[in-house]
């Protein structure tokens, strides 16, 4: 599953896109920015994961309301 990553791993692997604090801010604001409804982030057993292809789409589309 190369397209799914933990927040920490994603932040370490893609520092030019977002650091862990930025990812957590996007998650905090998920009700208004559409990141969760886009499928770019996934919560499983109290852990958040990044769907990398969907995050790329979400970033390219801009932060749209859910």
DSSP state of 52: H
Query: Phi first, then psi: what are they for 3, rounded to 5°?
Result: -95, 0
CA separation for the pair 53, 40 (Å, rounded)? 8
First to last CA, the chain: 26
Q: What is the 3-state secondary structure (H, E, C) of 19-43?
A: CHHHHHHHHHCHHHHCCCCCCCEEE
What confidence score (pLDDT) does residue 10 get? 95
* pLDDT category of residue 1 using cuts at 50, 70 and 90: low
Encode pLDDT of 19-47 as tens digits. Answer: 999 999 999 999 999 999 999 999 999 99
The pTM for the full model equals 0.85
What confidence score (pLDDT) does residue 62 get? 80
What confidence score (pLDDT) does residue 44 get? 95
Domain spans, the chain: 4-61
């Amino acid at each position: 599953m190369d397209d799914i990553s933990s927040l920490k791993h994603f932040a370490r692997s893609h520092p030019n896109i977002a650091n862990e604090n930025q990812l957590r801010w996007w998650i905090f604001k998920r009700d208004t920015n559409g990141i969760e409804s886009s499928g770019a982030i996934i919560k499983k057993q109290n852990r958040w994961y990044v769907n990398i292809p969907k995050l790329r789409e979400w970033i390219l589309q801009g932060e749209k309301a859910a």
